């Protein structure tokens, strides 16, 4: 069963790019006098975007920047390959689309690594395949014309069908995975297609400059999440908690939450099951009521901050949260996943379930207390909750 986790990210990326393009059209009277300067700056900004992406191991966007640089230099400068590409626009269109698809199917790695050689071979293979595909276009049309039911399709086989398939695959990759890079690659494909189909009224240097800035923004957002989001649970990290503490008012409540017997889960079922437990608790914490903000403090510890809320509201929300976690039957996944048919045919009794409990310590800020002191008070309350037998809330 596919989860369309990336729908919001995909359409946000498309809307953001559309907004930038429409903004450039609307503000043309302001940048028109600087068009020459923008044209001179476009390539340096694009190369800077590629280097910036490579610095943070976002090799997919770095390669895509180089693709845009190839298009821009061939049309804006007198370079050795300009004349050839001017006569091979179809090759550039299909090759660029396939390169975008290829980058969406790979993983971000260091641009200069042992994988670079294989990627270079793959990029050259894409270019050669498209070249020979177009070279034998006449033979393909002749072959298709021999069959009546394929005659109508022959004008579309060379360009339209491959582009539609590539677009569908990019869209599918983007909407089924919550990944800003994949969403940006799909938006890049739409823009790449629009440029070659002459759907845009903006000059190429403005469009490419916008692309470079969008890529810089994408990498910056990725770096932010890398620094402030936990990779396993997708919760804000302790660093994000420290940042929040600087903007809290005088009235707030802090809860420290710890998973009971977490080490036992790891020792009994393995670290994979331990990771499942952390994800489960994180998903439940994300549903906490009372306006609480959740953070992963470290290990199996989490922090919930209720800013501007009374202690009673926070306590009731945490008590409800504790019950929801304790009452949830967690199915232990097998190391070797069964097929869907096997899972449906196996009796429910064969599926081992466990229950996870948490202990919670709550502390409300007192006069002249610092955030660190409130955290310490919540930690002491957590210790008391464990002393009382675990699976309870203590303040």
pLDDT tens for residues 233-242? 889 999 999 9
How sure is the predictor about 155, in pLDDT bands with cuts at 50, 70 and 90? low
The mean predicted confidence, pLDDT, of the chain is 88
Torsion region of 319: left, alpha or beta (phi above 0 gives left; psi -120 to 50 gives alpha): alpha
How sure is the predictor about 333, in pLDDT bands with cuts at 50, 70 and 90? low
Question: Of 75-79, 132-136, 166-170, 320-324, where does the model show the most confidence?
Answer: 166-170
Please give the pLDDT value at position 269: 83
Question: What pTM was estimated for this model as a whole?
Answer: 0.81
> What is the 3-class SS of 158-182, one letter each residue?
CCHHHHHHHHHHHHHHHHCCCCHHH
Please give the pLDDT value at position 136: 80
Please give the pLDDT value at position 149: 57
Bridge partner list, 293: 305
Instruction: Provide, rounded to the nearest whole percent, the portion of the chain with pLDDT above 70.
Output: 90
Q: How open is the CA angle 163-165-167, to the nearest 5 degrees? A: 65
Average pLDDT rounded to a whole number, residues 95-124: 89
300 carries an active-site annotation: yes
Residue 337, pLDDT > 50, answer no
Cβ atoms within 10 Å, residue 255: 27
Q: Where are the alpha helices (DSSP H) in the chain?
A: 7-26, 28-31, 35-55, 59-76, 82-86, 89-105, 116-135, 137-145, 148-151, 154-157, 160-175, 180-196, 204-228, 238-245, 262-269, 271-285, 311-326, 340-345, 371-387
Domains and their CATH numbers in the chain: 7-228 (no CATH), 238-333+349-394 (3.30.70.270)
For 349-384, write each residue's pLDDT tens digit: 456 788 889 999 999 999 889 999 999 999 999 999
Residue 143, pLDDT > 70, answer no
Question: Of 106-110, 264-268, 319-323, where does the model show the most confidence?
Answer: 319-323
How sure is the predictor about 336, in pLDDT bands with cuts at 50, 70 and 90? very low
For 199-209, write each residue's pLDDT tens digit: 999 999 999 99
Instruction: Provide, rounded to the nearest whole percent, the portion of the chain with pLDDT above 90.
Output: 58
Residues 6+ positions from 291 with CB-CB distance below 8 Å: 306, 307, 308, 309, 313
- Contact at 8 Å (CB) between 68 and 209? no
Tokens of 64: 């895509």
For 190-201, write each residue's pLDDT tens digit: 999 999 999 999
Residue 130, pLDDT > 70, answer yes
Among residues 139, 146, 300, 319, which one is catalytic? 300
């Amino acid at each position: 069963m596919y989860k369309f986790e990336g729908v919001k990210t995909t359409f946000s990326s498309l809307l953001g790019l559309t907004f930038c393009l429409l903004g450039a059209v609307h503000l043309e009277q302001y940048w028109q006098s600087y068009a020459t300067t923008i044209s001179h700056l476009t390539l340096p900004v694009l190369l800077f975007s590629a280097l910036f992406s490579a610095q943070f191991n976002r090799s997919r966007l770095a390669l895509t920047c180089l693709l845009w640089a190839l298009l821009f230099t061939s049309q804006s400068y007198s370079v050795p390959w300009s004349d050839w590409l001017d006569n091979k626009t179809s090759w550039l269109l299909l090759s660029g689309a396939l390169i975008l698809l290829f980058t969406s199917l790979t993983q971000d790695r260091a641009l200069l690594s042992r994988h670079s050689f294989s990627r270079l071979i793959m990029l050259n293979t894409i270019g050669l395949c498209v070249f020979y595909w177009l070279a034998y276009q006449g033979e393909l049309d002749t072959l298709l014309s021999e069959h009546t039911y394929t005659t109508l399709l022959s004008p579309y086989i060379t360009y339209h069908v491959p582009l539609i398939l590539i677009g569908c695959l990019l869209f599918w990759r983007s909407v089924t995975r919550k990944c800003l890079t994949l969403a940006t690659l799909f938006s890049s494909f739409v823009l790449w297609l629009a440029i070659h189909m002459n759907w845009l009224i903006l000059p190429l240097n403005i469009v490419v400059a916008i692309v470079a800035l969008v890529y810089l923004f994408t990498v910056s957002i990725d770096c932010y999440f890398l620094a402030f989001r936990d990779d396993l649970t997708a919760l804000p990290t302790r660093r994000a908690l420290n940042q929040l503490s600087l903007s809290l008012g005088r009235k707030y409540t802090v809860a420290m939450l710890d998973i009971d017997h977490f080490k036992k889960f790891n020792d009994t079922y393995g670290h994979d099951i331990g990771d499942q437990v952390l994800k489960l608790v994180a998903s439940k914490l994300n549903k906490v009521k009372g306006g609480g903000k959740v953070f992963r403090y470290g290990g199996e510890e989490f922090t919930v901050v209720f800013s501007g809320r009374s202690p009673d509201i926070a306590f009731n929300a945490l008590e409800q949260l504790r019950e929801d976690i304790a009452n949830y039957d967690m199915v232990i996944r097998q190391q070797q996943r069964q097929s869907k048919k096997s899972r449906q045919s196996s009796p429910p009794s064969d599926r081992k379930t466990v229950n996870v409990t948490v202990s919670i310590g709550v502390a409300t800020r007192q006069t002249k207390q610092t955030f660190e002191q409130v955290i310490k008070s919540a930690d002491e309350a957590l210790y008391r909750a464990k002393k009382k037998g675990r699976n309870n809330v203590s303040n």
